[in-house]
Chain A
Amino acid sequence: MSQTVQQIVERCQALFEDLNFTSVKEWKAAAPGRKAIGFMPVYVPREIIHAAGMLPVGIMGGGDQLEVIQGDAYYQSYICRIPRSTLELGLTGRLDCLDGMLFPSICDVIRNLSGMWQILFKDKYVRYFDVPQNYQDSVGGTYYIHEMQVLRDDIGKLAGKPISDDALRASIRVYNENRRAVHELYQYRAAKPWQAPTSEVYVVLRAGMVLPVEEHTKLVREYIAATDAVARPVRDNARIVLTGAFCEQPPLSLIKSIEMAGCYIVDDDFMLVMRMLTDDVLETGDPLDELSKSFLHRSMQTSSKYDEFKKDKGKYLLDSTKLNAGEGVIFAAPSFCDPALLERPMLQAVLNEHKIPYTAFKYAENTGQMAPIREQAGTFADSIKLWSAA
């Protein structure tokens, strides 16, 4: 019997709240020799980990339920929260189930955390994973393929056998399927946001950070089918695109507050790892070459990536707002997040040019006071409705 929306969401919620990563431990225990590799936002080619028979695990911080004690001792007050809570997870043994950890190129804080991890967790595989800021195949591509090859060799050694091209192609196929499913979910939400509230969509996506990808793809499609089967009331909400939350995640209560304040979120940049490559990676040919081409030429714009030309700045946000019939943009950025906060004025300038309304606030993953955010989002939604009525 198929599951109801409520059952699916409850399962995802439980996975989301489980800071002991029980599902990862269970996956590892199910067969001898299984290994899991953690990764932080924003993007790593998970295909390489999967091709070694390992489980890629997204570590998106500790959220609002984790009391950070040890992690705070490593950071000054003006540094964002995600490295503190991630360290807390590590230092309290919650990440012992991980055999390695990848730190993608996103900002100086996460970059430096890679070195801290090397010092504090000497028995684990740790790698800072750089992606190119030069998008020519012969320059940035060559560099990137080599970096992926190093990762492939390292992971192969951890797995005890090299990763074959065929295994990589098979993993690319599996992740292409997952990208399609996630894309379908985003399209579905944009078309019927009342049927797929972001507070639900978010936990369904978060499940993909800990579940095997094949299971997650199935889960996403089950959620779409289940929610589509039961009609929900349509509200006169403002359709907004949320941006800036690509690394440290907002608390779920913040997403709920925005929705309760009268906004439908029709696009966002949560957990970009699932959507970074915007279409299928070619399943034939040299797999690393194809992963590289996808990243260089068909990947999302986000603040940690260089925009080669001025005219490109804000293009994704603008296109998304138009494509998803967005009526406004909410800039929700973590406090002290350099990438999001430095990017924000440039994106706002683009929105100003196109007369798209926006509002902005900051959060931390453990923000508890939602009243100001609800008020701000509510006022924003009301103003959109007033303008569109005029």
Chain B
Amino acid sequence: MSTPVQMTPAQASKKPVPVAQKEDAMLLQKEMINRNYHEIATAHDRGKKVAATFVPGNLNELVMCFDFARSLPETNALQNGMRKKSGKMIMDAERDGHSEDVCTYVKADLGAMLGGEIGPTGEPMPHPDLLLLSYTGCFTFMKWFELIRQKYNCETTMLHVPYQGDGKISQNMRDYVVKQIKENVIPSLERVSGVKFDIDRLRQYMKESARAEGDLVQVLQSAKNRPSPIDGYFGAVYYIGPMFTAFRGTKEATEYYRVLRQEIEQRVREGKGPITPEGEMAEEKYRLVVEGPPNWTHFREFWKMFSDEGAVVVSSTYAKVGGVYDFGFRHDPDHPIESLAEYCLGCYTNLNLPQRIDMICKYIDEYQADGLLINSIKSCNSFSAGQLLILREVEKRTGKPAAFIESDLVDPRYFSPANIKNRLESYFQMIKQKRAAAGAVH
């Protein structure tokens, strides 16, 4: 089921704002995220503490055990990006001395603080009481929270998650993360919140997580159908929202994923394609795998460039940034802390380049994709450094065409619609030619 929604106007304009089509699950997750912002805004008034942590390697179930309101700075930045507020924030941060070369998520966050500490929904964004620095798959995280600590003097707890340089998780890595959770993270959470740790409460949340994770995987893998009932990149952003942020482990998230799965399974039965902001996709012409995060400042425009051409993204690596679940990992209530460690270590950006290439090749094969598209993000070296080699290797191994476009997360100055559209059109042309050539051979 889908519902038309009036889009928030990008900026003052006399043009009528087109009505965007959204699935009910998309609306529901929007409601959940807005409600979370309200909880953050009112936390201190309600005698609650606020914890900030990053999406990859977030310990949401654990943090919930201490009744924290939970803020995720990347999500705040991307929400501001989607609401067209991030450009000014970034420029404010640059005027305040931050380099034009560094991550725009960081600058959007710092700029938001300079601009009066108002959250994306317009409510106040209180200072976090604890910065839980889950240093997972991104060097910038460490500097980001050091910068916030410098400004607000917040207590900070480091959780160092070692990188899978050898393409595997060793026992030493696991033990190291477990020890930190037990000896550093939990005591800090107890001290700041004043709530005693209850492992059974954690197990309970993890049971919910595992259920929801199973349903999310079913939703994402539904794209193996032809036509795909979902878009595994643009649409998946909405599907992963609750799981990757403040909701994993809640009954609400479990229910969200149950309903979402039903909705998607119904679409499969009806042979329907994905819902795009412009409506249901009529004909699936191209099936793509996408590597790299999306651009948020022109999200709808960006998606339209694909949907207008009948291109659907059947799988994306970005939908694994807050946890890779489709190869079997689930949070395990029987081994809660060990399972949290495993989760952190397994996030997409903590995988080495050969693992990332393997994963993309597998997606191309299993989802019967026509090729790989890389959206290379200026801000994000964790994703971007090495992507040109990924492109070459994937082309070599799969024989499928790959293409490369460049944009940024939340800096509107780096979104060049004409360039991107040109490249996409050439790419679709290339796929067509490849198909024709293959058809001629057979």
Interface of A toward B, CB cutoff 8 Å: 73-76, 78-79, 83, 103, 105-109, 111-116, 118-120, 127-130, 132-134, 136, 138-140, 142-143, 146-147, 150, 303-304, 306-308, 310, 313, 333, 335-339, 341-346, 348-349, 362
B195: CB under 8 A from chain A?
no
Q: Could you say which of B96-104, B118-126, B257-265 contacts chain A?
A: B96-104
- How far does the alpha carbon of A130 sit from the alpha carbon of B133 in the complex, in Å? 18
A76–B388 touching, CB < 8 Å: yes
Closest 8 CB pairs of A and B: A128-B165, A115-B353, A342-B143, A143-B176, A133-B160, A341-B99, A112-B386, A115-B352
A139–B135 touching, CB < 8 Å: no
B426: CB under 8 A from chain A?
no
User: Within B122-172, which residues are at the interface with A (CB < 8 Å)?
Assistant: 133, 135, 138-140, 142-144, 146-147, 149-150, 153, 156, 158, 160, 162-163, 165-166, 170, 172
Partner of A348, one of B97, B102, B160, B356: B97
- How far does the alpha carbon of A345 sit from the alpha carbon of B150 in the complex, in Å? 10
Q: Could you say which of B32-40, B74-82, B374-382 contacts chain A?
A: B374-382
* Also in contact, A79 and B165, with CB within 8 A (given A306-B135, A307-B146, A342-B143): no
Q: Could you say which of B178-186, B238-246, B302-310 contacts chain A?
A: B178-186
B301: CB under 8 A from chain A?
no
Task: A112-B381, A342-B102, A346-B146 are known; give 19 further A-B pairs, CB within 8 A.
Answer: A74-B388, A76-B388, A114-B353, A115-B165, A115-B354, A115-B386, A116-B353, A119-B357, A127-B166, A128-B163, A129-B165, A147-B172, A306-B135, A307-B146, A308-B158, A338-B103, A341-B101, A341-B102, A342-B106
B284: CB under 8 A from chain A?
no
Nearest A residue to B384, CB-CB: A76
Q: Chain A residues near B376 (CB, 8 Å)? A: 76
Nearest A residue to B376, CB-CB: A76
User: Within B372-419, which residues are at the interface with A (CB < 8 Å)?
Assistant: 376, 378, 381-382, 384-389, 393, 406
B175: CB under 8 A from chain A?
yes
A108–B140 touching, CB < 8 Å: yes
A113–B386 touching, CB < 8 Å: yes
Q: Chain B residues near A343 (CB, 8 Å)? A: 143, 146
Nearest A residue to B350, CB-CB: A111
A79–B381 touching, CB < 8 Å: yes
Q: How large is the interface on B (under 10, 10 to 19, 20 to 34, 35 or more residues)?
A: 35 or more
Instruction: Report which residue of B142, B385, B406 has the largest number of chain A beta carbons within 10 angstroms of its beta carbon.
Output: B385
A338–B139 touching, CB < 8 Å: yes
Q: Chain A residues near B354 (CB, 8 Å)? A: 115, 118-119
Q: Chain A residues near B106 (CB, 8 Å)? A: 342
B158–A306 touching, CB < 8 Å: yes
Interface of B toward A, CB cutoff 8 Å: 96-99, 101-103, 106, 133, 135, 138-140, 142-144, 146-147, 149-150, 153, 156, 158, 160, 162-163, 165-166, 170, 172-173, 175-176, 179-180, 183-184, 352-357, 376, 378, 381-382, 384-389, 393, 406
A313–B150 touching, CB < 8 Å: yes
Partner of A134, one of B140, B180, B378, B406: B180
- How far does the alpha carbon of A134 sit from the alpha carbon of B135 in the complex, in Å? 11
A119–B389 touching, CB < 8 Å: yes
Q: Chain A residues near B142 (CB, 8 Å)? A: 133, 306
A142–B147 touching, CB < 8 Å: no
26 A-B pairs, CB-CB below 8 angstroms? A74-B389, A76-B384, A78-B384, A105-B163, A112-B385, A112-B386, A127-B166, A129-B165, A130-B162, A132-B160, A142-B176, A143-B162, A143-B175, A150-B172, A303-B143, A306-B133, A306-B146, A310-B150, A310-B153, A313-B150, A338-B102, A339-B143, A342-B147, A345-B96, A345-B97, A346-B150
In the complex, what's the smallest C-beta–C-beta distance from B202 to chain A, in angstroms?
20
B150–A112 touching, CB < 8 Å: no
Nearest B residue to A143, CB-CB: B176
- How far does the alpha carbon of A235 sit from the alpha carbon of B98 in the complex, in Å? 35
Q: Chain A residues near B388 (CB, 8 Å)? A: 73-76
Q: Chain A residues near B381 (CB, 8 Å)? A: 79, 107-109, 112, 338
Q: Chain B residues near A103 (CB, 8 Å)? A: 165
A142–B384 touching, CB < 8 Å: no
B149–A310 touching, CB < 8 Å: yes
- How far does the alpha carbon of A314 sit from the alpha carbon of B162 in the complex, in Å? 25
B97–A146 touching, CB < 8 Å: no
* Also in contact, A342 and B158, with CB within 8 A (given A116-B353, A119-B354, A134-B180): no
Nearest B residue to A345, CB-CB: B97
A139–B389 touching, CB < 8 Å: no
- How far does the alpha carbon of A140 sit from the alpha carbon of B180 in the complex, in Å? 8
Nearest B residue to A73, CB-CB: B388
In the complex, what's the smallest C-beta–C-beta distance from B299 to chain A, in angstroms?
21
Q: Chain A residues near B393 (CB, 8 Å)? A: 119
